[in-house]
Structure 1
Amino acid sequence: MALIFDGFSVGAWESNCYIIGCGVTKEGAVVDPGADAKKILNRVKKLGLQINKIILTHGHPDHLSALAEVQQATGAKVLIHGDDAEMLVDARRNLSFYMGKSVELKEADVLLKDGDTIQVGNITLEVIHTPGHTPGGICLKCARDIVITGDTLFAGSVGRSDFPGGSHSQLIASIKSKLLKFPPDTKVYPGHGPASTIGAEMRYNPFLTGAF
């Protein structure tokens, strides 16, 4: 399969950006270019990848502020779940308006839905719709033992649900029904903070054990 997988923190929000690539075809995708396009593009260059897709786990500015620059540099298509599509083009919907620096971008090239697959060379990514943080929040199953969880599930925590369109009960239901079904050794790569595993979150995450 020759999966190339690189994750790193970008920007003042310390959001995690991920680069996924196929070692055979050298095709690649950037997931959540939250800030610092130069850093992202330098990592892409070092990996020797041709980026043809930019995938957004959801439509908040800390996950897409470098999108325009990365897209301009790569010519990649932008993919987002249909329920978050308007957040790309509307600064009020993506909340950047209220942060003093409006981010309004072009419409996405591809609107995703639950169960879709995304090809990155010979690598197949599975789209898992996990609403709760945003209506169109998604996770990406990248391999048997790797899932990118965006702002749905963190190490020891879960995404905020107090933004417009958020729902805590929906978020927890999404996690329990769609993520906790994966094997315990599945690695969890979240939108912020360190990696974890499904097993560790099942045992110790207070939002999932009922401690909160």
Structure 2
Amino acid sequence: MPARFEILRMGPDKNLAYLFGDETTGEYAAVDPGFEPDKHLHAVQALGGRIVLILATHSHRDHIAGLDDLKRATGAPLAAHPDFPGVDRPLADGETFQVGSIPCHAWHHPGHCADSILIEIENRKLIVGDELFIGGVGRTHNEAQARVHYDSLHRRLLTLPDHLELHPGHDYGATPTSTLGEQRQSNPYLLQPDFDSFWWLRQNWKTYCQQHGIRWG
């Protein structure tokens, strides 16, 4: 049976959080509780299930402010990048894990944040945090960080299959979801032929959006 997958909207900055799991066993994972962990609790209660794992895509506060409250309420361990502060279950790059009977993979993806991970769910969905948005990418603060981001996008994300449905950490683009194949063909950052072009776009993104009539943020 495919995983049950819920999209939760929260926070002041169009944050997207997620709840997914196995309806048969009632075991669910909460992803990025942000500032409103009660939304995960209400969602899982409505499904008659329980949260057995908490996943964090990266350690920025707008995605994890409610983490401790959710851990206390559920007793569930935190699974995240090995460098994530206070992680209970470090996830190695490429590690397979399960939520109920639902198979998942964790992929390390430094760039927007050094401890970012991608969460692949039964080879159908990919939670990408702030590493990729629909039509854009997450913020970086200098050229060195942007280069790490560019390398991760090309060495990891773009090696994954096109059919994966992408689920970002913010609803900034024209739609909240897309597929990797669609983004490969349309996302301005993924279309850049080299790092210099990627870095230029990173520095001139607002102007680029205005010139091309792109609604952003």
**TM bin (shorter chain):** 0.7 to 0.9
Match of 1:144 among 103, 108, 123: 123
Give 1:185 deviation, angstroms. Answer: 2.4
Match of 2:150 among 167, 172, 187: 172
Aligned to 2:178: 196
Which residues of structure 1 form unaligned runs of 5+?
87-106
Give 1:118 deviation, angstroms. Answer: 2.1
> 1:93-108 alignment to 2 at 5 Å?
107-108=86-87
Per the alignment, in what secondary structure is the counterpart of residue 161 of structure 2? coil
2:14 and 2:161 map into 1 onto residues whose CA distance is 28
Aligned to 1:89: none
User: Are the aligned partners of 2:184 and 2:191 in contact in 1 as well (CA < 8 Å)?
Assistant: yes
> 1:43-54 alignment to 2 at 5 Å?
43-54=43-54
Aligned to 2:212: none
Per the alignment, in what secondary structure is the counterpart of residue 209 of structure 1? coil
Give 1:136 deviation, angstroms. Answer: 1.3
Structure with more strand by fraction: 1
Query: Structure 1: which amino acid aligns with 2:161?
Result: P
Aligned to 1:115: 94
Aligned to 1:94: none
1:162 is the counterpart of 2:141: yes
String of CA shifts for 1:124-145, please: whole Å, max 9, x gaps.
Answer: 1100100011111000110222
Aligned to 2:7: 7
* Matched length: 189
Give TM-score, length-normalised by structure 2.
0.82
Which residues of structure 2 form unaligned runs of 5+?
202-217
Give TM-score, length-normalised by structure 1.
0.84
Structure 1's consecutive aligned runs of 4 or more residues displaced over 4 angstroms after TM superposition are: none
Who wins on radius of gyration, i.e. which is larger? 2
Aligned to 2:16: 16
Q: In angstroms, what is the RMSD of aligned CA positions?
A: 1.6
Per the alignment, in what secondary structure is the counterpart of residue 139 of structure 2? coil
Give 1:11 deviation, angstroms. Answer: 1.2
Give 1:72 deviation, angstroms. Answer: 1.2
